[in-house]
Amino acid sequence: MKNIVYVFLVLSCLVMSCGAKKLAEADVAADSIDATDVLTKAQLASAPNPPSDLYTSGKLKIIKDVHYRFEVDNVKKSTENIENAIRKYPAYISSSNLRLDNPILENKITIRVQSEYFADLLKDIDLEAKFVNFRDVKTDDVSKEFVDLESRLRTKREVEQRYMDILRAKAGTIEELMQAEQQIGQLHEEIEATVSRINYLKDQVSYSTIELEFYQTISQEITSADAVTLLDRLHNALGTGLEGLEVIVIALAYIWPILLAAGITVIYLRFIRRRINKVQPNIPA
C-alpha cells in the first residue's frame, strides 16, 4: 500500500512539473509575439510615406504623360545631370536621340518612371531648364476601362468553362461538340486579347512617361571653329599641289610607252638629219 502511495506521489509531481514547463514556454512565446508586433509597428511608423502626387488621388487608375521642351546652357552636362536624377528613382531611359541641326544641338530622351515618383523626377528635371518652350502634362483615367475589361474577362471565362464542361461530359451530337470546340477557341483568343490589354494598361498606370526635348544654341562656337585662317589656306594649297603632282605622275605612268616611242623617233630624226648634212657637198657662194 505504501508503495502505491509513493508511486502516485511521484507521478503527481511529474505531471505538475510538465504543466509548469508548458505554461512557462507559452508565456515566453507570447512575450516574443508581443515583441515582434511592437517591432513591426515601430518599423511601419518609422518607414517614410510614399511621395504625394498632385496628378492622381492614389485611388484611381491614372496614366500620366508629359511632353517637355526647354533650352539648356550645355546639352552634355544637362544630359549627365538628368541621368543622375533618373538613377535616384525606379526609372529608366527607353529611348535617346542626340542630333545636331546647325545651329541647334538637341537631345530627345524618353523616360519611364514609377508613377509615385513622377512629380519628384519632374522637379529635378526642372532645374536644368534655362528657358521652357512648353511643358504639357496629360492624365488619362482608365479606371472605368479596367472595370469593363475585368468584367468581360470573368464573363468570357465562365462561358468558356461551360463549353469545357460540355466537352468533358460529351453531351450532345458530334456537330454540337465541334461547335463547342470552335467557341472555346474563339473565346480563348478573346480572353488572351483582353488579358493583354489589361497588362498593357497596368504597365501604363504603374510607369509614367516623360518625353524630354532639350537643346543648346551653338552658332557662335560653330562660326569660330569654321573660320579659315591664312595657315589653313596655305595648308590646303600645299595639299592640293601634292595631289596634283600625284595625278601627273600617275598619268605619266599610264603613257610611258608613248613617251618612249616619241623620244626614240626624235633621236632617230636628228640622226638622219646629221647624216644628210654630212653627205651634201659645200656649195660655193
Rounded Cα distance, 237 and 190, in Å: 73
Q: Region 273-281: what's the mean pLDDT?
A: 70
pLDDT, mean over the chain: 75
Q: Which residues of 234-252 are buried (b: 16+ CB within 10 A; e: fewer)?
A: eeeeeeeeeeeeeeeeeee
Strand pairing report for 207-217 and 131-141: unpaired
pLDDT for 6 beyond 60: no
Q: Comparing C-alpha atoms, which of 53, 51, 34, 31 is closest to residue 42?
A: 34
Strand pairing report for 207-217 and 62-71: parallel
Q: What is the pLDDT of residues 92-143, one digit of tens each?
A: 999 999 999 888 999 999 999 998 899 999 999 999 999 999 999 998 888 8
> CA end-to-end span of the chain, whole Å?
190
Q: What is the pLDDT of residues 238-252, one digit of tens each?
A: 778 777 778 787 877
With H, G, I as helix, E, B as strand and everything else as coil, classify residue 170.
Answer: coil
Q: What is the pLDDT of residues 187-218, one digit of tens each?
A: 888 888 888 888 888 888 889 999 999 999 88
Cβ neighbours, 10 Å, residue 152: 15
Q: Region 156-170: what's the mean pLDDT?
A: 81
AA letter at 213: E
